[in-house]
Structure 1
């Protein structure tokens, strides 16, 4: 007898639970409804993943738990396919009106009036749809003719603590991020082109993922691949977000890599500092310093502390123990999940209290002009006692050398 394995995605039951938790926040703030525009927030609350364009999509949730979706007609069959349990759908023909003379925000305002929400206390993640792809439109408060309490934290604070199901998806994403990096490392050699290797490794790792997971893998985007790897090289790595450069890998190049998986819409993060050839004492000095600083971050990440306290501990170590404060270019890390960067941040000015279930990158970097960047990044989930590393790729220098 063959046992059926579930698809790697969040269940409809968990989406309902998320909306119930949001309703609890509405009650705490005495709000009668909330309008959510952000595409990732809409997906988080409904399971409807879509390609965001100039055509507004909005999720309306009442304090009683009634959910409505505002959609362009071209998305109607799509939402019915993904979320058959969501039946309250308000469709507009096209943006900016498709000949109707009604802007989509007017359609939304009319819906809210029909639901008896005119003049009630309304919250929103944003006071109107995001201005993307040429979109122009009025604020929600303007079409309603009343104030709106806009606060992205209403939804994003819920997103910051991951459920067991979310962590499981991110753990699987880390497995494939590790695999993509391994494939890429095997392809890197002296004379190779960084762009060609990055794309080839991502394609091969994606083929491996699809073959292994089969129908359990459920894509949640129109673009990109579920397993990805890339690197930049040489002195260009001294820029924390250096762009790709044309040309060949050369002996002595410092490499800063990035690899990630995407499973059920959830991402992982893995970055490594590598070297083409044998390390000299100067490279070893900075590599070992970076590795020690990252370990301080690992040890500092635990529940009950604030993000600022973690960052302060890492910066203090780099300043006082390493005497390398001048090489810092960014904070120690960030949360992530459905997006590559999410709130909160391991930063001196972020005083969010760390809780079990939060997922962070730990990636303190040291950037040496004319030599290169030194940065490992790993995915960690906060546990009741401390944290657990989900990205398991080797951090050791001997495992990160490209032979010449």
Structure 2
């Protein structure tokens, strides 16, 4: 059977060792991972199966993680993970959307097998894929275990990427660049918004001549005209007028690693005030990027950016950056560090961020951004699309 692993076994072993070290520090015997990015990080597992209960179990006394999921997805676990067959478990289809059977009860029996009946068990309480009903079923099936919140335990470890991960993210950046180039070439008066979205999806997946892309973990934000002041608007089937603003955020995704990119495109001649705003946004973005270097904090980087904006009488309330890496729906951000006031996370080489200093003011919005990896001396851009306002 084919294997679709994108990292050496030694990389997975190092990741697992790091997680177990943190588990020991917190006194956790068994860790239940419900978040697809964390499952992928520790095992390589990749299939669109996370809409049903799915778990990766890490036990201190067990050499490998144990994947547990729907029976029909067992083959994907065999194809995309390094796990031995004994560590790939599957529940029958009778558990899927059942009113009487709980897949979490099935998982609890495996936890008992791993010595977890009286263990201290960590779960991802803040995750997208850990439902309240699942937690109730687990605690009911394991009444003598102690459950503790281990949300983001793996997330903080994932924040620093290995050289092999950064290499994949460089490819994801190339995918974002070619998708943005396709959009810039597509946008013109009379083109339907939905056709712009279709061009994005086509290019994201077809990729470059050398490699293709994966499905993104979230749709492109295509904010046009009056919706250009809305950060996360959807497209319509309207045609672009002769003069309008297109704010677009898209991504490139390679082996589930996602790199984001946003640009503003103006159809027609931009007003002098909007042209000035674009130059202010670019200036502040560049100041923020130049503030990036190992040893500085996220808050210090944001402060430099904020001061650059303040010189022009503009204030941005929201954060200006978030980390990306392995991405599954519904979001690309890693939910750990943020480049914002008060975040004292210290930058380290290998951290990847999307610096997203979009400005959404009362009547206008503009989005010119840069994804980067923290290098030994500063930052390395992961995309090469010019940081400028595009005019069509």
Normalized against structure 2, the TM-score is what? 0.88
Distance 1:208 1:309 in 2: 36
Inter-CA distance 218–333: structure 2 relative to 1 (3 Å threshold): closer
Inter-CA distance 44–273: structure 2 relative to 1 (3 Å threshold): same
Which 5+ residue runs of structure 1 have no aligned equivalent? 1-5
1:42 matched to 2:12: no
Inter-CA distance 384–225: structure 2 relative to 1 (3 Å threshold): closer
Q: What's the counterpart of residue 319 of structure 2?
A: 331
Distance 2:217 2:147 in 1: 38
Q: What's the counterpart of residue 293 of structure 2?
A: 302
Counterparts in 2 of 1:5-404, with a 5 A limit?
A: 9-64=6-61, 65-83=63-81, 85-87=83-85, 88-94=87-93, 96=95, 102-126=101-125, 130=129, 138-145=136-143, 146-204=145-203, 206-209=205-208, 211-213=209-211, 224=215, 231-319=222-310, 321-325=311-315, 328-339=316-327, 340-342=332-334, 343-370=336-363, 372-397=364-389, 400-402=390-392
User: CA deviation digits over 1:17-59, x for unaligned, max 9?
Assistant: 2111111112222322211111221111111112244531111
Superposed displacement of residue 282, structure 1: 0.8
User: CA deviation digits over 1:314-366, x for unaligned, max 9?
Assistant: 223222x11012xx352111111112111211122422222111101112122
Q: Is the 8 A contact 2:221 2:232 kept in 1?
A: no
Distance 2:112 2:174 in 1: 48
Inter-CA distance 139–130: structure 2 relative to 1 (3 Å threshold): farther
Q: CA RMSD in A?
A: 2.9
Q: Is the 8 A contact 1:329 1:367 kept in 2?
A: no
Superposed displacement of residue 175, structure 1: 0.7
Superposed displacement of residue 184, structure 1: 1.5
Inter-CA distance 197–353: structure 2 relative to 1 (3 Å threshold): same
Aligned residues: 382
Q: Is the 8 A contact 1:54 1:95 kept in 2?
A: no
Q: Provide the secondary structure at the position in 1 that maps to 2:247.
A: strand
Distance 2:68 2:9 in 1: 19
User: CA deviation digits over 1:362-403, x for unaligned, max 9?
Assistant: 121222333x31121111100121111111101134xx110x
Q: Is the 8 A contact 2:216 2:258 kept in 1?
A: no
Normalized against structure 1, the TM-score is what? 0.85
Q: Provide the secondary structure at the position in 1 that maps to 2:175.
A: helix
Superposed displacement of residue 305, structure 1: 1.8
Inter-CA distance 95–293: structure 2 relative to 1 (3 Å threshold): farther
Inter-CA distance 391–92: structure 2 relative to 1 (3 Å threshold): same
